[in-house]
Structure 1
């Protein structure tokens, strides 16, 4: 079969506002694109969903997701395919191409889960969908994968899932070499911002926004630096070495032997031109799992809200 080319990215204003969106977002090396449902072509016989190792999930998510980071994973499942019409990043599992990852993770504070599902045990019965990313696949693959990822979570004792959609657009600086050898820098949008259309299409319960907060934003790469990771460096906690290596990989100077971690971190953030930006909070969604009667009976601890829309609720550039 011939290869299928992804459609170009749409602006938030061009995206449909219906929960049953006709467009599905895809990712490749941190860049987003869109597929239209009219393209069709999804054959479930060519796909399967299976548990994958943390190392496999981590490598895929960091390569493909715009955030270039991996959460504190509890478990991950992968979308595998034998469909050879689409380019892949080379990752395989059991001889099949890995084209999607759903990572269920543990947020730093149990309140993230218990505020939504007050009767469920956090981390054991409730969990966060920390990453959900697909590379180039047919339009219907997204909802098909999400439903089966939740089935795997249910089989592991999970009865409630919390997920978030980030409305903040992301950009990064890209250096290009022109035909005449001239080097230029341009700004590339890696994410238009999200309001959670795939969650809405999956009948998630909308629960407003998470708490507004201040972020450490690395504008050149278009990524947010975790405050938790930075605090590990300051306090020389477990994981500090990995957090340091990440900053060095972004262009920060290597910490000298004996140099105070706090003073090094200040210099590293300055060298990376990390800035503080105010974020209004992510859109929060809840997915009760199980039978329809169980889903209806499961208490939700926060007020339900209307679904946010791309044309009014996503932050503008």
Structure 2
């Protein structure tokens, strides 16, 4: 998740709170819902917007289904991960205030890495068909406060028409830095989901992640592509070689090469307590939504702060 939701439009406070005195800042993560700040992105760099700078006007925006190549180009340019997941439904937020529609945000709903992720969260729904994962949600820094809530709601309207009844999304609360110390991921607790009435169902399974020199994660699926030489392994191998890993030899075992490549580039192992998991049940009314079962207990206490980066 790459965007946070502020409270409704409020006038600028006459006496700023201590938190407001220091915002925006490059080292702060996601802002608690009690404060009038929201996060934006451009070229994989985050910034903050205050509601007093101007509220969202829905007449200036429209949502349209987006071709996957167009969505991919936007996400790769602006999302902090620099990666694009498996997508099934992609939507664009267009700013029409100048007459010519301008792409200002993208939401990606796609296939989960494992069907069990969706099956456990939404046991009544067919995974990757009636239940999808919201894997990317990014707005440019030109979008005013409160844009994300409107955009997410319109996406859900479109998904419901397409017979999607449930959405699972994860918020990664762990800040990440590159090997040079540059902050590349601020850590998120899912503020937009909390403000949009998602069911918070706790944290996913803890695991150890591999951080590459630029602070991005080599996920298990990418590693498996290399080990098994599955489709897409060339892209992963090229990325590691760009960091200085040696080229794979023709007679080398891929798993051995991967292990040695990660050592060669100085990849770091980081223990991750698990991302926060949110579940949306979609329906035209509350009764229809309530008929969809949750596979996990709904927790009433939302997380408010990112994890420590220690």
TM-score scaled by length of structure 2: 0.85
Question: Which of 73, 80, 84 matches 1:70?
Answer: 84
Partner of 1:158: 164
Aligned 1:1-317 pairs, distance under 5 A? 7-9=24-26, 11-12=28-29, 15-18=31-34, 21-83=35-97, 96-136=101-141, 137-173=143-179, 187-218=181-212, 220-290=213-283, 291-311=285-305, 314-317=307-310
Deviates more, 1:34-43 or 1:44-53: 34-43
Shift of 1:15: 3.2
Over 3 Å counting, the alpha-carbon distance change for 1:288 and 1:236 in structure 2 is same
Shift of 1:130: 0.7
Shift of 1:254: 3.1
Residue by residue over 1:221-263, the C-alpha shift from the partner in whole angstroms, topping out at 9 and shown as x without a partner, is 1110112111111111122122222323444333345544333
Where does structure 2 lack aligned partners over 5 or more consecutive residues?
1-22
Q: Indicate if the aligned counterparts of 1:161 and 1:286 stay in contact, CA closer than 8 A.
A: yes
Alpha-carbon distance in 1 for matches of 2:61, 2:245:
41
SS in 1 for 2:181: strand
Q: Indicate if the aligned counterparts of 1:17 and 1:309 stay in contact, CA closer than 8 A.
A: no
Shift of 1:8: 3.6
Shift of 1:124: 1.0
Residue by residue over 1:76-118, the C-alpha shift from the partner in whole angstroms, topping out at 9 and shown as x without a partner, is 111111346xxxxxxxxx9532211110011122111111111
Over 3 Å counting, the alpha-carbon distance change for 1:69 and 1:250 in structure 2 is farther
Alpha-carbon distance in 1 for matches of 2:55, 2:302:
29
Shift of 1:310: 3.0
Residue by residue over 1:141-164, the C-alpha shift from the partner in whole angstroms, topping out at 9 and shown as x without a partner, is 111111111112112110010001
Alpha-carbon distance in 1 for matches of 2:295, 2:256:
42
TM-score scaled by length of structure 1: 0.83
Q: Indicate if the aligned counterparts of 1:194 and 1:310 stay in contact, CA closer than 8 A.
A: no
Alpha-carbon distance in 2 for matches of 1:140, 1:236:
44
Over 3 Å counting, the alpha-carbon distance change for 1:171 and 1:124 in structure 2 is same
Q: Alignment RMSD, CA only?
A: 2.2
Larger relative strand fraction: 1
Partner of 1:176: none
SS in 1 for 2:178: strand
SS in 2 for 1:101: strand
SS in 1 for 2:235: helix
Q: Indicate if the aligned counterparts of 1:79 and 1:99 stay in contact, CA closer than 8 A.
A: yes
Query: What is the number of residues matched between the two proteins?
Result: 286
